[in-house]
Structure 1
Amino acid sequence: MKLSKNNFFNVLGGLLLAATLLVGCGDDDSGPTPSGALNANAGPDQLVSVGDAVVLDGSGSTDIDGDPFTFQWQIISSPAGSTAALSNPTSPAPGFTPDVVGPYTIELTIANEKGNSADEVTISVEEAIAPEEIGGTHNTALTLVNRVSNPRKPDYIASTNVNMGADLIIEPGVKIVFGSNVALNIGSSGAILAEGTASEPIVMTGTTESNGFWKGVGVFSSDVRNVMDFVEVYYGGSTEYGVGLYASFNVGVENGDKLKVTNCTIGQSSEYGLFVENGGELTGFANNTFENNGGIPLAIDANNMTQMDANSSFTGNGTQYVELLGSTLSLGTESVWRAFADGTPYWATGNIRVESGLKVNEGVVVEFGSDLAMPIIGTGYIIAKGTASNRVKFLGKAGVAGSWRGVQIFTNDTKNEFDYVEIAHGGSNVPSAGLYELANLSIENGDRAKVTNTIIRDGNGYGLYVENGGALEAFANNEFKNNSGVAMALDANQVHQLDGATTFTNNGDNSVEVLSSTMEHGATEVTWVALSNQTPYFLSGNVDIESGLVVNAGANFEAGTDVRITVSGDGYLSVEGAAANKVNFSGKTKASGAWRGIGFFTNDVRNLINHAVIRHGGSADLGIGLYARFNVGVENGDQLTVTNSTISDSAGYGIFAETGSTLTASGNTFSNNTSGNTN
């Protein structure tokens, strides 16, 4: 049904406008005011209803010198029959109650010894119109029009629930007030088309302006036309909504249903401002304002994150986060997560599974609740790219090590990238599903990611854990600090990706762990660099070198208990230290026999140890054809050159050269080798 405007008030509004244009207001000074020393300002014109209490405002009046002045107000014209009178006419803000429809012209005069100044204000008074009741069930289209020209007055009232089984069309300027605990339900056969304008917004509020007074708007419709544009919604959230929406809010969208929300102000709810259930869809979202809600202003799932815009703002809410509900990102197209210009962070209250493409823009901050995780899985990938001054951040909400599980990479997509990112507080529990170590960031066997310019800190366990067989596609200029365990771990095939600029500070074990593995790069020679601040490589398991490896000057290696390094197959090892910058190999426990040592099983002329310090080997026979204890051993038929090096503290020989091997040695120093310097 169509609720039509009152034509009388259209005519009256035109007459009032004409009267206003003829009479005018402001700058109507009179009297001998020298050089504009006094300037009266009677305030803005007002539109009110009969019986409204009107307060005038002369506070904008001024004296150029800041001297005091007096106020004198008077009604100079009023509708016939009016007996309205001003209260406190000598105050800056007198009042009166209009009793007849029509225009009231009121003059303010200010005066002091310099003279006086006057200004006029027009109060246009219309008949009080009672709001029309719309409570009940509507199975035919309902159009709500702007019945009352005064935007402060309600056009409609809902004393009982409004249940829409058809279109609800709300025109610009409409104000609806809802009774206590009353709801507006947009049913599965219904739709809401609430489209105001910047100058004539639609308003939905309670008959009493108190947080949580009415129930709110519940959208249970998947109609793609559902829209709220330039709508203001206040004071909802009286109780949990129910009927599939188990939260208290101003506006809620059920799983499987849709709503576009743009240019809206949503405030003063008891809890949520806008609650979009996991599986609900925002078909549009932009330029919204969330203010003074009692709880979280906005809750959405991962698939709606791509709708978030920089310009929406969040002010004075009980919890200043946008809640990211536990959910799976599965859009099939690349989703973009954007930061809010006001810096509002996201709070993940459930696990976030990324099963399709995700790009995270600079400045996005996601804080994860207790023991939650963010796995990148299936056909998903993540491109998290911040800037030096505006990083992407994945943090634990509690702000302490081990408050969430961290980020896990379970995909082999070459787009996986972390650049100018900060990851902190992970390691609450093992991610499982193929990754069994506590870490801030983990990469599974067979999967890959780039990690550059990134801070990985305050984790429980590893900072970064790259499982044996996982790949670092790029690695540079990172920072590892305050992780409780080893700073990072990876296998021998990934060590060549490391750089000398990455820093390692105050980690529980301030080293880079090289997992038990075989290095195999075919015909490609790789280089292992010296890490910053003499940070050591920690060989936690046996390392077999089956392709070419150069170790740069200044590199430090600490081997775990009974661990060995072997050079075999098509491999060679060139340790290229310098007189003032040796390469160091030692046991992690710094005691004779802490590890097995280095065994050479190839006849490559590039096998070289120059300017190195090798200590603490000989924990047991190396085996694999070298049945002796030593720091360095060469098998029958193979060769090695050792020069300018210190070989000491072996539980067996310093150097063991099996009969039939070729050992070239010069300029070396030996000490404290149990079985002798050489055999």
Structure 2
Amino acid sequence: MKTKLLLLSAISALMFVSSCSSDDDTITPSIPELEALELSNCSSGIAEGETLILENRNNGVDYIINCTYPVNGDLIIDPGVTIQFGTDATIRVYNSGSIQALGTAQNKVVFTGEDKVPGSWKGLYIISSDVKNKIEYATIEYAGAVGDDGAILLWSDTHLKMNNTNITNSQTYGLHANTNNNELILENNTITACKAPMYLDASYVSAISNGSYTGNNTDAIIVDRGFIDEDHTWTKLNVPYHFPNGVDVVAGGNLTVMPGVIMKFGQDSRLFINEGASGPKPSIIAVGTAAEPIVFTSIDNVMSAWRGIYFDSPNALNEIGFATIENASNPDQEGAIETWYGTVLNVHDVTFKDIQNCAIHQYKFPADPDTLTRSNLTYINVANAFCQN
């Protein structure tokens, strides 16, 4: 009898639920998660003119790549997709191809290594000028195997917009781009636990805005010696810029350095504003504020570690103000600031510190007008404030 009563109670409950449900109610069946799919067509990859869309298949690894996967068409990666790479695997985006990793703040695209150790896979290699190239709201981790030298490695004539992306645990650099004619937009990215955040040609420094770049072996944007021959603006980041081999502002170049920027120079290097034989005269405007001075110093914090700033330009825009210049001047450059004949320069509100020879050294013929303006300068441990030939 007890069993029958329990059965009737159960039937009654079911009837009650059914009577309370409308005919329009539908039950959505759960969608089973799919196993990770290996992209194994490594000889052909994505052909020119083709498009491959990688969709989110599950809550774990969606796709596996164990080779050098060539992209000659369009690769589109949806939000939430995770791609796992085997040892030395990589995606290579060639001239006719493009990559769009389109994550969101809630559903990032993840590129990761199977072994979960720095350098376990090569990274993303992009050789494409396609304006569709975009990486946003992504995580790139455990890449940068030695030899390719970057979790993202860009070759000449590449276009890339990368924003809100986290690069971490690269065995080498987070981003490596020191070849010619790239077009980059780098906004609000975070690079940490890498050899250094970025290794860039000097012409790409102005592509960086905001972001965080601490927690690396070297907390600095490393700038390969390059030539500034257009209008560029370098902004303050939460790490300094390192110039191991210096940098040149040449004909047609106009460099603006914003308040708070820290520029550190390698042994015997210099910042050279060089008019050359022809072309528009180059200039530098490096004007900080009292609260946020611009700092020109050395990577090695010792006296005479770098040459200094050398001017050979009659451009009336040349100005250095509210700045600190330290550890400059050595046997190859007598002045921490050195000006060649005819240079026009306004130097004001600058502190010279730990200068072995001259704070300012001017080359000038006695009969020539003085085109060097100096005001409100401070000298700390400086051998000579001003020298003239």
TM interval, short-chain normalised: 0.7 to 0.9
Deviation at 1:363, TM superposition (A): 0.4
Deviation at 1:239, TM superposition (A): 2.7
1:306-455 equivalent positions in 2, closer than 5 A = 306-309=206-209, 311-331=210-230, 334-340=231-237, 343-355=238-250, 356-378=253-275, 379-430=281-332, 437-455=333-351
Question: TM-score, normalization: structure 2?
Answer: 0.85
Confirm or deny that 1:285 pairs with 2:191: no
Confirm or deny that 1:205 pairs with 2:112: yes
Deviation at 1:127, TM superposition (A): 4.1
Query: What are the Cα deviations for residues 635-665 of structure 1, in whole angstroms up to 9, with x where unaligned?
Result: xxxxxxxxxxxxxxxxxxxxxxxxxxxxxxx
Partner of 1:146: 55
Partner of 2:127: 220
From 445, 449, 456, the equivalent of 2:352 is 456
From 354, 376, 384, the equivalent of 1:486 is 384
Query: What are the Cα deviations for residues 240-293 of structure 1, in whole angstroms up to 9, with x where unaligned?
Result: 12xxxxxx2110111332211111111110010111123252431101010111
Supply the AA of the counterpart residue of 1:357. Answer: N
Structure ranking higher on relative contact order (CA contacts 8 Å, 6+ apart): 2
Query: What are the Cα deviations for residues 38-94 of structure 1, in whole angstroms up to 9, with x where unaligned?
Result: xxxxxxxxxxxxxxxxxxxxxxxxxxxxxxxxxxxxxxxxxxxxxxxxxxxxxxxxx
Supply the AA of the counterpart residue of 1:420. Answer: F
> After the TM superposition, which segments of 4 or more aligned residues of structure 1 sit over 6 Å from their partners?
none
1:165-244 equivalent positions in 2, closer than 5 A = 165-241=72-148
Deviation at 1:460, TM superposition (A): 2.8
Q: Tell me the SS of whatever aligns to 2:112.
A: strand
Partner of 1:303: 203
> Number of paired residues?
348
Supply the AA of the counterpart residue of 1:206. Answer: G
CA contact (8 A) 2:33 2:58 kept: no
Supply the AA of the counterpart residue of 1:259. Answer: L
CA contact (8 A) 2:36 2:57 kept: no
Partner of 2:21: none
From 467, 477, 497, the equivalent of 2:376 is 477
CA contact (8 A) 1:254 1:280 kept: no
Partner of 2:3: none
CA contact (8 A) 1:438 1:461 kept: yes
Query: Cα–Cα, structure 1 residues 210 and 142, in superposed 2: closer, same or farther, change >3 Å?
Result: farther
Deviation at 1:352, TM superposition (A): 0.4
Q: Tell me the SS of whatever aligns to 2:347.
A: strand
Query: Cα–Cα, structure 1 residues 127 and 257, in superposed 2: closer, same or farther, change >3 Å?
Result: closer
CA contact (8 A) 2:146 2:172 kept: no
CA contact (8 A) 2:258 2:288 kept: yes
Q: Tell me the SS of whatever aligns to 2:355.
A: coil
- For the aligned residues, what is the CA RMSD? 1.9
Q: Tell me the SS of whatever aligns to 2:203.
A: helix
CA distance, structure 2, for counterparts of residue 135 and residue 147 of structure 1:
20
Deviation at 1:454, TM superposition (A): 0.3
Q: Tell me the SS of whatever aligns to 1:173.
A: coil
Deviation at 1:130, TM superposition (A): 2.7
Query: What are the Cα deviations for residues 21-54 of structure 1, in whole angstroms up to 9, with x where unaligned?
Result: xxxxxxxxxxxxxxxxxxxxxxxxxxxxxxxxxx
Query: What are the Cα deviations for residues 105-147 of structure 1, in whole angstroms up to 9, with x where unaligned?
Result: xxxxxxxxxxxxxxxxxxxx95452333255132143423323
Partner of 2:20: none
CA contact (8 A) 2:71 2:98 kept: yes
Supply the AA of the counterpart residue of 1:317. Answer: N
Query: Cα–Cα, structure 1 residues 405 and 270, in superposed 2: closer, same or farther, change >3 Å?
Result: same
CA distance, structure 2, for counterparts of residue 360 and residue 286 of structure 1:
18
Query: What are the Cα deviations for residues 446-468 of structure 1, in whole angstroms up to 9, with x where unaligned?
Result: 11100100011212311111111
Query: What are the Cα deviations for residues 470-525 of structure 1, in whole angstroms up to 9, with x where unaligned?
Result: 84543211112223x322124xxxxxxxxxxxxxxxxxxxxxxxx5xxxxxxxxxx
Deviation at 1:389, TM superposition (A): 1.8
CA contact (8 A) 1:184 1:218 kept: yes
From 119, 131, 144, the equivalent of 2:37 is 131
CA distance, structure 2, for counterparts of residue 324 and residue 180 of structure 1:
29
Query: Cα–Cα, structure 1 residues 280 and 235, in superposed 2: closer, same or farther, change >3 Å?
Result: farther
Supply the AA of the counterpart residue of 1:300. Answer: L
Q: Tell me the SS of whatever aligns to 2:356.
A: coil
Question: TM-score, normalization: structure 1?
Answer: 0.49
CA contact (8 A) 2:141 2:170 kept: yes
CA contact (8 A) 2:221 2:239 kept: yes
| Structure (1 or 2) with the larger CA radius of gyration | 1
CA distance, structure 1, for counterparts of residue 370 and residue 81 of structure 2:
60
CA contact (8 A) 1:278 1:325 kept: no
Q: Tell me the SS of whatever aligns to 1:239.
A: coil
CA distance, structure 1, for counterparts of residue 81 and residue 328 of structure 2:
50
Query: Cα–Cα, structure 1 residues 162 and 468, in superposed 2: closer, same or farther, change >3 Å?
Result: same
Query: Cα–Cα, structure 1 residues 282 and 199, in superposed 2: closer, same or farther, change >3 Å?
Result: farther
Q: Tell me the SS of whatever aligns to 2:268.
A: coil
Supply the AA of the counterpart residue of 2:269. Answer: L
Confirm or deny that 1:274 pairs with 2:175: yes
CA contact (8 A) 2:88 2:121 kept: yes
CA distance, structure 2, for counterparts of residue 207 and residue 142 of structure 1:
26
Supply the AA of the counterpart residue of 2:248. Answer: R
Query: Cα–Cα, structure 1 residues 196 and 314, in superposed 2: closer, same or farther, change >3 Å?
Result: same
Deviation at 1:423, TM superposition (A): 1.1
CA distance, structure 2, for counterparts of residue 283 and residue 134 of structure 1:
31
CA contact (8 A) 1:439 1:462 kept: yes
Supply the AA of the counterpart residue of 2:75. Answer: L
CA contact (8 A) 2:64 2:85 kept: yes
CA distance, structure 2, for counterparts of residue 442 and residue 471 of structure 1:
14
Deviation at 1:164, TM superposition (A): 1.2
Structure 1: gaps (5+ residues): 1-100, 103-124, 242-247, 431-436, 491-514, 516-679
Q: Tell me the SS of whatever aligns to 1:200.
A: coil
